Structure 1
Amino acid sequence: MTEKSERQMTLAAMMFFPAGEHIASWRHPKAQPSRFLDFDYYKQIVQTAERGKFDVFFYADELYVWDRYESSINQSNSIRPEPFTLLSALSVVTEHIGLAATISTTYNEPYHIARKLSTLDHLSKGRVAWNVITSQTDEEARNFNKEKHMLHELRYKRAKEFVQVVEGLWDSWDDDAFLFDKEGGLFADKNKLHYLNHKGHEFSVRGPLNVARPPQGYPVLIQAGASEAGKELAAAKAELVFAPRGTLEDGKQLYSDLKGRMKKYGRTPDQLKILPGIMPIIGRTEEEAAERLAIVDELIPWELGLDLLSHALGRDISHFPLDEPLPFLPELEGFNQSKSSLTRIRNIIEKENPTLRELYKRFNSRGVAGTPEQIADHLEKWFVSGAADGFIISFPHLPDALEDFVNLVVPKLQQRGIFHTDYSGKTLRDNLHLSRPSARVNDNSNNEISTI
């Protein structure tokens, strides 16, 4: 066995859709779509990830049914459980693995989210993480009294203030505020209760929160945006970043960029872990891996593949010839959906000039195929080259592909000494080697909390 490296990679098991990585994973021969609302299905998956010593189970969420095109409903998965309900149940059947959920700052209120996350952190004994997102689509807006999604720049300003308010609410009570003195009749020390009294551009929140300070101080913050606004939010607030896929050089550049932005926010590089996404397709031989990749690449029907590309571009391109290049280069300026997805499409067009058929296949194909040894080589290369602190691992189908990764790849990483063989602490912060934040309370007679 290789001597253990001082630096250990972080691994998060990603459930983007209940069946796996992409919207058509439900079609995989080994997928189990009839179980998408069966708790035992999720229990099996998260317990497998915990057996593999994953640091985090990362559950993605969206607040709408994608019905922009006919194929959106006919051919894609639109069912997923609500995250707080699911993760609360999963906290009871796990002991060590972190539990992360995607929660929108655009279509929620800070008090609700602070209360729910704090409660879940208590119930899980300090294992919660929050993936801070701003949402992407008009479909979501129409479920929340709006016709159009908030502009990109405005929703990131809202997100930054939202996080500040939530963190302030988590500081409502000192850690030792509760006395539980039955004989003396004192439940809590009133001097250790603090009022937020936040009045900002987006929110006016008095506080305090009616839940004790979370075991972790603050649940771990995750951020996934790769736009300029997203990078700034990550540098200021995030502790884990879900980085987009790309080349090794792309990964190095983003890694250096994000870590370099942190100093102006009074933070050090070790306070942020950057985790690129990867979907490994594992075969015991190269031939088997290639066969499994071919199955995955054929799961998305051409109509759905084209509609997914149209969705990412923000315009219908179905009338353009399939076997000719897209007749325009999409512009980032003024774009109001996911700019990281649009940037990925632009990069493919600029580097390869593919036909439209090739473009939608390239955009929707995200797998890295190989033997367990080759997958471990790929992860190690990124990890030691300054492109990653770990990885968000997604799966072409669940639960079997996760089983393969745990049984075949995790031991390789452990043998190389770059991934732990057991959990090292009690809370998620302990396992990620992140410090517990101190409370931000002003020393004044009003017991107010600073959000500056």
Structure 2
Amino acid sequence: MTRRLHLNLFLMARGHHEAAWRHPDSVKHALTDLDLYIEAAAIAEAAKFDAVFLADALVASNNGAPGSTGTLEPLTVLSALAARTRRIGLIGTASTTYSLPYTLARQFASLDHLSQGRAGWNIVTSWLPLAGANYGLAEDVSHSDRYAIAEEFVEAVDALWRSFPADAILDDRESGRFVDPSRVKPVNYAGSHVRTRGPLNVPASPQGRPVYVQAGQSETGRAFAGRWAEAIFTAHLTKESARTFYGDVKGRAAAYGRRPNDILILPGISAAIGSTKREAERVWEELDALTSADVGLSRLSARFGGHDFTSVPLDRRLTAGDFPDPEKVEASKSRAMGYSDMAVREGLTLRQLLRKLAGARGHFTATGTPEEVADVVEDWFRTGAADGFNVMPPIMHSQFTLFAEEVVPLLRKRGLFREDYEGATLRSHFGLRDVSEAPPLARSGTGKAAAVP
């Protein structure tokens, strides 16, 4: 089978640049207006994108920046989009640290039914500082504990999704039998952090279960991805870094008896597109002119677990001593390490670092004509750096429309991207095997089948 490129829309409010909400070309809808999401999904579906992806944050922003505050809860939005779209996948973010497995399993199974098999779950452990306080905890959960919880959480959810087979529903009016109770089994999952009896009260969905998506890049996150993820949304500033990550995670998946194409690696790309290179460069210049150092400092602080950078001069070159030890960061550990390494390696000032992160928060940025952007996409795809991309338009909807209507046709002409959808489910768009062909993984050792009182 010919290897095909995969494209998702990472839909972020008015755009991924932190100043997009102020740009005159950004969409004018309120962030709570369903039409914002419907219009973006329509552009993506017309271009035959694999999926629309919604991130989430469990903490209100203290700087008022859109994208992290004032936006809607993903599953609610995706349920509405299920009725307004027909083929495109719908991927939503939900936390394993601050959710209950039974509730989450019901919600995503319901979304998969409503969308006729187009749901995906972006599994996150919620790194933002102060999230714990919003859920009644005295302090945030540590990085290692978050992943220990996540392992059990996904094991439990996976078991719940297998507990009520679709063919257990008989709906036989003649005999008066609606369900075959012998086919519905409790899971009796008992771990150190997670317990649930089951079975689920929603039958298996059209895909068997939603697609597992994940975004962790730390050592622990990569191990988790190798075991569970079917698609990985990852951030890389260089192709070399992306290639290293690609090979590493594919190798980890193989250690669990998985095939290389059982897991898709999808780096983020934020592309400023213009009819000339200079016109595209002006997009970044206009956005950067609208940025706020205070907003940038607040976001940088969050990545480093609340570290205060306000005492660091904005226009002095950064040193390693200006950053806390990334290994001790309990928030976004891998991203913190990448930021500090990049700043020191490139000799950036704090102001320059903030500008660099304003556009895509550590994801790859491209600048140029549609042909030049298509060249970058093709190069990464063909050289083992990516199976596709999480497209992160700097401005919605204007820059995304350019990508969909100018870049995607070029990728089709090069034989990289689909002409039309060939299947009806997200699993088929991604080229993933049926769940029935992939038996449940062995449990991690902490979660055991046991009676749950």
What's the CA shift for 1:135? 0.4
Kindly indicate whether the alpha-carbon contact (under 8 Å) linking 1:138 and 1:148 is maintained by their aligned counterparts in 2: no
Range with bigger deviation, 348-357 or 244-253: 348-357
Q: 1:334 aligns with which of 324, 328, 332?
A: 328
Which residue of structure 2 aligns with residue 13 of structure 1? Answer: 9
2:256 aligned with 1:261: no
RMSD: 1.9
Q: Any stretches of 5+ residues in structure 1 without a counterpart?
A: 443-448
* Alignment match, 2:59: 64
State how many pairs are aligned: 436
Structure 2 CA distance for partners of 1:441 and 1:75, relative to 1, 3 Å: closer
Q: 1:72-98: CA deviations, max 9, x gaps?
A: 137886211111111011000101000
Equivalent position to 1:346, from 340, 344, 350: 340
- Number of the residue aligned with 2:314: 322
Give the TM-score, by structure 1 length. 0.92
Three-state SS of the structure 1 residue aligned to 2:13 is coil
Contact 1:168 1:440 (C-alpha < 8 Å) held by counterparts:
no
Moved more, 306-315 or 374-383: 306-315
User: How is 1:118-197 mapped onto 2 (pairs within 5 angstroms)?
Assistant: 118-197=109-188
Distance of 2:439 and 2:266 partners within structure 1: 28
Helix, strand or coil at the partner of 1:12: strand
Aligned residue for 2:300?
Answer: 309
Greater alpha carbon shift after TM alignment, 346-355 vs 231-240: 346-355
Does structure 1 conserve the Cα–Cα contact (< 8 Å) formed by 2:112 and 2:205?
A: yes
Distance 2:130 2:285 in 1: 32
Matched, 1:29 2:24: yes
**Once the two structures are superposed, what CA deviation does each residue of 1:38-81 show, in whole Å capped at 9, x if it has no partner?**
112211110110001100100111112022xxxx1378862111
Show the counterpart of 1:225. Answer: 216
Bigger shift: residues 345-354 or 274-283: 345-354
Q: C-alpha displacement at 1:195, in angstroms?
A: 0.9
> Which of 253, 265, 270 lines up with 1:274 in the alignment?
265
Shift of 1:225: 0.6
Distance 1:278 1:441 in 2: 33
State the distance in 2 between where 1:33 and 1:402 align.
Answer: 15
Unpaired segments of 5 or more residues in structure 2? 442-447
Cα distance between partner residues in 1 of 2:402 and 2:131? 35
User: Which residue, 423, 429, 432 being the options, matches 1:431?
Assistant: 429
Residue 189 of structure 2 is matched in structure 1 by 198
1:142-191 C-alpha deviation (Å, 9 max, x unpaired):
11001321000110011111111111101112231111111111111111
Measured at CA, do residues 231 and 51 of structure 1 come closer, stay the same or move farther in structure 2, by a change above 3 Å? same
Percentage of pairs with the same residue? 39
Scaled by the length of structure 2, what TM-score is found?
0.92
Letter in 2 for 1:336: E
**Structure 2: distance between partners of 1:75 and 1:303:** 14
Matched, 1:216 2:207: yes
Question: Which SS does the other structure have where 1:35 is aligned?
Answer: coil
Q: Is 1:380 aligned with 2:378?
A: yes
- Structure 2: distance between partners of 1:74 and 1:432: 33
The answer to whether the 8 A contact 1:25-1:31 is kept is yes
Query: Following the alignment from structure 2 to structure 1, what is the Cα–Cα distance between the partners of residues 265 and 132?
Result: 30
How far the C-alpha of 1:441 sits from its partner, in A, is: 8.4
CA distance in 1: counterparts of 2:302 and 2:178, whole angstroms? 54
Deviation at 1:34, TM superposition (A): 4.3
SS at match of 1:57: strand
Q: 2:367 is matched with which residue: 369, 390, 397? A: 369
Secondary structure of the corresponding residue to residue 90 of structure 2:
strand
1:364 maps to a residue whose letter is A
Residue 32 of structure 1 aligns to which amino acid in structure 2?
V
Asked whether the 8 Å contact 2:118–2:426 carries over to 1, the reply is yes
- Match for 1:405: what amino acid? F
Rate the CA distance shift 1:262–1:333 in 2: closer, same or farther, 3 A: same
